[in-house]
Amino acid sequence: MILRTFGWSFTITGLGLIAAFLYGGVSGFVLVAILAVLEISLSFDNAVVNAKILERMSAFWQKIFLTIGIAIAVFGMRLVFPLAIVSITAQLSPIEAIELAFTDEKAYADQMHDAYPMIAAFGGMFLLMLFLDFVFEERSEKWLPWLERPLARIGKLDQLSVVIAGVALAAISGYFADNPGEVMIAGVLGMVTYILVNGLGELFAEAGEDELEEEGEKSSGPSELAVATGKAAFFLFLYLEVLDASFSFDGVIGAFAISTDPVVILLGLGIGAMYIRSLTVFLVRKGTLHEYVYLEHGAHWAIGALATCMLISIGSHVNEWITGGLGAGLIIAAFVTSVLRNRREGAAEEAGSEDKPLHTTQV
């Protein structure tokens, strides 16, 4: 199971590290390894959220996400996206942006850092909306009941997520951003993107479930989640790609603090992205989210922490290891509490079975 799921990741790791050594020697090898660890630590919560969405998709669309999706994630977000940002912000042609990346790495990195407030505003607002929609929804299982219960109660107020996200964006752009207009526009676009893609995904998913109900084919149990096909699966795929892009923003920008070489960044973050995809598949195939019920909660609280760090970083730099540490810490805490919960329930079931009287048959 481990080899089958992580086999491609192990292969890409080996090839990537060999390429890094041939390209940059020992220094390139070490930098690529550090970047891979950074990407995994920053995006671990992404794998949990991806798995929750991926299990709602048909097998065909799961393969699309794991093939075409990984190409978009590795080459699109880790190579093309930085070049596109530099091209737009520096008003350069794509060819000139590529030449800048390989001939003047410092100027290339400076352009990326100058564009960071807009990138952080877009990605931060997208992730903040995702986090708020989760914590404001009533759920049977609560990881932090003392906090999640009142949040779910006030979440009954319609469009509260939009209100809070809008106020946060206004405060950040008005008091902390050097270019408030650009930050405000980018943040609003992040909110609109989330509402549009998430709304369309849910709309077509519900339509697909209605069709199955009419045909009498709807199943029960966890398998009923994997019903999204056609338009529903397509919009879930778009949602996953935008979500993955939002998670990637922090890692891509943070990578420039470690190396400004686009090849080193591509290799390091690409290796990390492969492990996130493999981990997503592992969680789906093992049914881990059903067994460890608080993992989803921990992932969304980690998303909230990441969104907060991204928005704060618009006005003040937040170290990437802090962001990654917060996310990993919340995921680990959610896993540990899930294990303790399962043990308590198992002990309670055993105690209940021992208390039941034995029935004897009288002859």
**pLDDT tens per residue, range 247-304:** 776 677 667 767 778 888 888 888 888 888 888 888 887 777 778 888 888 888 988 8
Q: What is the mean pLDDT of residues 183-206?
A: 80
| Number of Cβ atoms within 10 Å of the Cβ of 93 | 9
- CA neighbor of 52 nearest in space, from 270, 257, 288: 288
Residue 234 has pLDDT above 60, yes or no: yes
Q: What's the pLDDT score for residue 210?
A: 56
Residue 143 has pLDDT above 70, yes or no: yes
Residue 124 has pLDDT above 80, yes or no: yes
- CA neighbor of 315 nearest in space, from 202, 145, 112, 178: 178
Question: Which DSSP state fits 178?
Answer: S
Which is more confident, 273 or 218?
A: 273
Residue 188 has pLDDT above 60, yes or no: yes
Q: What is the mean pLDDT of residues 307-326?
A: 80
Rounded Cα distance between 205 and 225, Å, is 10
Look-up of token digits 């096909």: 229
67 near 51, Cβ under 8 Å? no
- CA neighbor of 310 nearest in space, from 249, 222, 233: 249
Cα 31 to Cα 53, 80, 133, 236, 317, distances in angstroms: 32, 20, 37, 34, 22
| Number of Cβ atoms within 10 Å of the Cβ of 78 | 24
Q: What's the pLDDT score for residue 164?
A: 92
Place 61 in a pLDDT band, splitting at 50, 70 and 90: confident
Q: What is the mean pLDDT of residues 160-176?
A: 89
Provide the residue type at 189 as one letter.
Answer: L
Which is more confident, 132 or 175?
A: 132
Residue 55 has pLDDT above 50, yes or no: yes
Rounded Cα distance between 43 and 41, Å, is 6
Residue 363 has pLDDT above 80, yes or no: no
Q: What is the mean pLDDT of residues 223-246?
A: 67
Place 167 in a pLDDT band, splitting at 50, 70 and 90: very high
**Least confident piece of the model among 121-125, 133-137, 240-244:** 240-244
Which is more confident, 318 or 341?
A: 341
Q: What is the mean pLDDT of residues 149-157?
A: 87
Place 22 in a pLDDT band, splitting at 50, 70 and 90: very high
Q: What's the pLDDT score for residue 221?
A: 38
